[in-house]
A = this chain, B = another copy of it.
Amino acid sequence: MSRDIRIVTEAQLREVVSLDLETVDVIEAAFRALAGGGVVMPPILSMAIEEAHGEVDVKTAYVPGFDGFAIKVSPGFFDNPKIGLPSLNGLMILFSATTGLVETVFLDNGYLTDIRTAAAGAVAARHLAPSDVAVAGVIGTGLQARLQMQAAHLVRPFDRCLVWGRDPARAASCAADIAAATGAQAEVMTCPASLCEQSQLVVTTTPATEPILTAEMLHGGLHVTAMGSDQGGKNELAPQALARADLYACDRVSQCETLGELRAARAAGLMPDTPPELGEIITGMATGRTHDAQITICDLTGTGVQDTAIATHVAARLGGAGTVIPV
């Protein structure tokens, strides 16, 4: 029996899906589904290729009620920029959840991951940031720094954006891009402490292995989303910062205790209890921010549920895009 598999490139995807409120809602639905039970999400398959300074992660999740499930392969080869190639690449595959047949291969070079990751930051901000955010700050100056601010602006339309990174020139370039994308005034800060002091919302987007944001930088009325750590060796927030927050939530406890900020906090003997997940806060199963003066933290490691949600959403909007291969 012949059937068709659709192959879709990054350029084709960029024409049908972008980082907007609809995408944020799709990812919010993924977090709701994760909290609703019945989701099957195995641990991430992770392989390091030390000779090439590379790694590859595979994520997947089955979500009841979704027609398909995605399997995403994300290679990161960190010497690539030396030869003019991006570090992050990969593809996403959408399978039928009833037959297991391959339906669509997204040769997206990580584009869908970029926007579903940024959209998760917006979901965290929507449900945990103070109601008014005049100033947002971002620590880190890569693509996600830009996208996280763009996403946060959709749900908390701040007027000013503060940027800090180790390299001031990269920070300036990042600030200019954020200003262009959001219309906010964007400026480079000289240290994370002053960035936090002036912000009501801070997103950390670095691959740091030593904490950048300390407990002393927190203040009432601040929400922090830490999305940089997705591996056992990474750590952006000091353990004491988690302990100081009025509320610490994460995307998936089982992932965050090994790959997220919770890992270092637990290793330091802090945060022994099971924290709420973002999906539980969204659905009301757990309590979120109760007043604007609280300090909240959300720890995002990225879940296969987000991949399944974005892939099924995009597949439904493809129309005739892509190359059909009869198999």
Contacts and interface: CB of A to CB of B under 8 A. Distances in A.
Given A93-B73, A98-B77, A40 B47 contact: yes
Interface stretch (A2-10, A144-152, A214-222): A2-10
B52 A98 contact: yes
A54 B107 contact: no
A47 B64 contact: no
A70 to B, nearest CB: 11
B105 A49 contact: no
Contacts of A316: none
Contact of A327 (B9, B51, B62, B93): B9
Residue of A7, A85, A105, A327 with most chain B CB atoms under a 10 A cut-off = A327
A95 interface: yes
Interface in A189-210: none
Interface residues of A, number: 53
A287 interface: no
Given A84-B1, A323-B323, A97 B58 contact: no
Contacts of A269: none
B102 A56 contact: no
A48 interface: yes
Interface string A91-125: 10101011111100101010000000000000000
A294 to B, nearest CB: 37
A42 interface: yes
B45 A40 contact: no
Residue of A45, A83, A90 with most chain B CB atoms under a 10 A cut-off = A45
Given A40-B49, A97-B49, A100-B89, A327 B56 contact: no
A80 interface: yes
A75 interface: yes
A99 B42 CA distance: 26
A47 B75 contact: no
A9 B43 CA distance: 30
A254 interface: no
Interface of A: 1, 5, 7, 9-11, 40-49, 51-52, 54, 56, 58, 60-62, 64, 69, 71, 73, 75-77, 80, 83-85, 89-91, 93, 95, 97-102, 105, 107, 109, 323, 325-327
23 contacts: A9-B327, A10-B327, A45-B58, A45-B60, A47-B69, A49-B62, A49-B100, A52-B98, A52-B99, A52-B100, A56-B69, A58-B58, A71-B73, A73-B95, A75-B95, A76-B100, A77-B99, A89-B101, A91-B102, A102-B107, A105-B107, A323-B323, A323-B325
